[in-house]
Amino acid sequence: MLEVKNLNIEFHDHSLPETVVYRFNLSMEEGDIVGVVGESGSGKTMSALAICGLLSRRDMKKEGEILFGGKELLTCSRHEMRELQGDDIAIIFQEPMTSLNPVKTIGWQVEEALRIHTEMTKEERYERAIWALTEAELPNPEKVYHQYPHELSGGMRQRVMIAAAIVCRPRLLIADEPTTALDVTIQAEIIDLLLKLNREHKTAILFISHDLSLVRKLCRRVVVMQNGYIVEQGAVKQIFENPQQEYTKRLIASIPSCEEGKEDKDFSTEEVVLSAADIHVSYHSSHGVFGKKQEQKVLKGVSFALHKGEVLGLVGESGCGKSTLAKVIVGLNQKYEGQIGCAKGSVQMVFQDPYSSLNPRKTVGWIMEEPLKIKGGYAKEERRKKVLEMLQKVELEPEIADRYPRQLSGGQRQRVGIGLALMSEPKVLVADEPVSALDVTVQAQILKLLQKLKEEMGLAILFISHDLRVVYQLCDNIIIMKDGEIVERGTPQKIYTAHKHPYTGQLLKAAGIETVGTAAQA
């Protein structure tokens, strides 16, 4: 059905032409599910956009052939391309928050493809839209039909996107990281939905993701890409169990695993460096100056203690209050009830997004000297020396000190972020999703670095994450939060083998962990 031969994509909008995809080959049958994996910059999204004709024709040069049902897509007219788009080929994007038009109703957006590609009457279109919404397993489709995107949650919006994509019954569905912006439990539901659509309607799916475990769950064949080249392709089983190429092996090795048994360590004799007792936070929102005031409780009595040298994992999905808790601990949120016990200035934070947490207009050296300048009492050379020492500690070259954040890769920036947090020699490091914005191989390196620094400096780390597998690797104790409350706590062993709360089970299942040791077979 789809045949891509020797596709090259070259950009021409910058000073130098830049090739982003080299000799991309792919063939898909009716009802196939193919996964394309690779890290950022590997060209996976570019290849997919080329297939569905969304790449600008002006600023880039494309060579090769894309045959869809015998038709050449690269050279066909725009009109012919539009006939296919939304009808035979549909696409789902990563970000459900921006991929829907905020001022149109859900029904209108789902029907749009029908208005363009069919001669249906209004009533027929309505029926078809309701059918699609039902297929996408949206509860109460008649109500959703009249709602606007902002009234729906992220997961529901992604279902609406899927409904809009399947409304014309496409033969090929291209899904570009459709679950990346979603919580783990919802990710699992979306994957199940895609599987169902494939089974029932024989829709072929081209699934683009950086998440190898999702690809493994969903796809039959995998294409591994790196720097624009296809490194390896084959059946899922073959790639995962018997990878041939070095890069594939490295990718698979960086999936955090829960296989090795982990010894429980007892920290109760160590000094408590951070304690939280019965923390309550609520937000007040009102509509306009005279609107009704609403109170929303974000944290409802959270207590924990963090000991010297301990890594405490805080796991929960978006909206559970874990970031609010981090803000309370580091002092960014002063409006809370309860007690936080820690020495002044002993807590520092590492942020999720290394792109926005470093001042883009200052050099790395300047940024890292800042804590020393504020503390005072350091001469210029002393500050410089300390920065260079810290760069070495976080395994960066000393030249980095004179660069700007935009000149660094994501992994390097996160290392700078960690180094910056450690400049004032804190006892506690609060890490808010420090690896979730990074590629898997980089994730593994950063986790290793955190582990090393913890041992060298006797740090205690509060590690906030939504990824149970990452937490298992790094943490000594785990807290699981839901709706502002701690629902379960214990050592990784205990949580993974003998959890009590059903929500923990749900999280474990979504992460592909039934019990410890079975992750490999799952």
Partner 1 sequence: MKRKKNFNLIIGTVLTGLMLLLIVTGLFFLPYDPETMDIELKFAGMSPAHPFGCDNYGRDVFTRVMVGARTTLLVALGTVGIGAGAGILIGAFTGYFGGWVDEVVMRIIDALFAFPSILLALVVISLLGNGKLGVISLLLGSGKYQVILALGIAFIPSFARVVRSEYLKQREMDYVKNARIMGCGHLRIMFVHILPNIMPVLIPTVMIGFNNAVLSEAGMSYLGIGVQPPDASLGRMLSEAQTYLFSQPSYALFPGLTIVLLVLGFSLLADGLEER
Q: Which tokens belong to 99?
A: 């991929």
Among 42, 348, 443, 445, binds partner 1 (CB under 8 A): 348
Q: How far is the CB of 371 from partner 1 (least distance, A)?
A: 5
Q: Which of 15, 121, 268, 334 is in the footprint of partner 1 by CB under 8 A?
A: 15
Distances (CA, A) of 458 to 301, 310, 313, 443, 461: 29, 9, 17, 22, 10
Cβ proximity to partner 1, 330 vs 462, nearer residue: 330
Contacting range for partner 1; rule: CB under 8 A; set: 107-115, 125-133, 164-172, 371-379: 371-379
Among 375, 406, 452, 500, binds partner 1 (CB under 8 A): 375
Looking at the Cβ atoms of 359 and 392, the one nearer to partner 1 is: 359
Instruction: State the Cα–Cα distance between residues 223 and 310, nearest whole angstrom.
Output: 40
The total number of residues shown for the chain amounts to: 522
Query: Is the CB of 249 or the CB of 373 nearer to partner 1?
Result: 373
Candidate residues 61, 104, 361, 500; the one interacting with partner 1 per rule CB under 8 A:
361
Q: How far is the CB of 319 from partner 1 (least distance, A)?
A: 18
Does position 374 bind partner 1 by CB under 8 A? yes
Select from 358, 418, 471, 474 the one that contacts partner 1 (CB under 8 A).
358
Q: Which of 201, 362, 384, 509 binds partner 1 (CB under 8 A)?
A: 362
Q: Which stretch binds partner 1 (CB under 8 A): 192-200, 273-281, 325-333, 509-517?
A: 325-333
User: Could you say whether residue 10 binds partner 1 (CB under 8 A)?
Assistant: no
**Pick 347 or 471: Cβ nearer partner 1:** 347
- Burial code (b: 16+ CB inside 10 Å, e: under 16) for 94-130 equals bbbeebbeeeebbbebbbbbbeebeeeeeeebbebbb
Determine, following the binding rule CB under 8 A, whether residue 16 of this chain makes contact with partner 1. yes
Interface with partner 1 in residues 17-46 (CB under 8 A): 17
Q: Does 306 bind partner 1 (CB under 8 A)?
A: no
| Nearest distance, CB of residue 14 and partner 1, angstroms | 9
Figure out which of the listed residues 5, 27, 140, 360 binds partner 1, where binding follows CB under 8 A.
360
From CA 183, how far away is CA 443, in angstroms rounded? 18
Angstrom distance (rounded) from CA 408 to CA 405: 5
From residue 72, how far is each of 2, 4, 47, 388, 495 by CA, in Å? Answer: 10, 10, 15, 56, 54
Of the candidate residues 370, 395, 485, 514, the single one contacting partner 1 (CB under 8 A): 370
What gap in Å lies between CA 51 and CA 26, rounded to an integer? 11
Q: Are 118 and 75 in contact (CB under 8 A)?
A: no
CA distances from 506 to 67, 180, 216 (A): 42, 18, 19
Does residue 505 interact with partner 1 by CB under 8 A?
A: no
In contact, 111 and 163? CB cutoff 8 Å: no
Q: How far apart are CA 336 and CA 277, in angstroms?
A: 11
Encode burial over 398-429: b for 16+ CB neighbours within 10 A, e otherwise. eebbebebeebebbbbbbbbbbbbbbeebbbb
SS (H, E, C) 166-187: HCCCCCEEEEECCCCCCCHHHH
Q: What are phi and psi of 457, to 5 degrees?
A: -110, 0
The stretch near partner 1 (CB under 8 A) out of 46-54, 160-168, 169-177, 330-338 is 330-338
Count of helices and strands (H, E) across the chain: 18, 19
DSSP letter for 405, please.
Answer: G
* Side chain identity at residue 443, one-letter code: Q
Angle (deg, nearest 10), helices 440-457 and 246-253:
50
Residue 67 identity (one-letter amino acid):
L
| Shortest distance in whole angstroms from residue 361 CB to partner 1 | 4
Does residue 356 touch partner 1 according to CB under 8 A?
yes
Comparing CB distances to partner 1, the nearer of 178 and 417 is: 417
As a whole number of angstroms, the distance between CA 341 and CA 344 comes to: 9
Beta-carbon count within 10 A of 236 CB: 19
Q: Which of residues 192-221 bind partner 1 (CB under 8 A)?
A: none
Which of residues 34, 37, 330, 471 is near partner 1 by CB under 8 A? 330
Options 134, 227, 318, 424; binder of partner 1; rule CB under 8 A: 424
CB of 195 to partner 1, least distance (A): 37
Asked whether position 371 contacts partner 1 by CB under 8 A, the answer is yes
Nearer to partner 1, 296 or 359 (CB): 359
Q: How far is the CB of 427 from partner 1 (least distance, A)?
A: 14
Tell me which of 56, 359, 407, 518 binds partner 1, using CB under 8 A: 359
349 binds partner 1 (CB under 8 A): yes
Which residue blocks in 423-501 are alpha helix, DSSP H? 440-457, 468-474, 492-497
Residue in this structure with the two tokens 């920065």, named with its chain if needed:
387
Span near partner 1 by CB under 8 A; candidates 63-71, 139-147, 172-180, 341-349: 341-349
* One of 240, 247, 336, 351 touching partner 1 (CB under 8 A): 351
Site of interaction with partner 1 (CB under 8 A): 12, 15-17, 330-332, 345, 347-349, 351-353, 356-362, 370-371, 374-375, 417, 420, 424
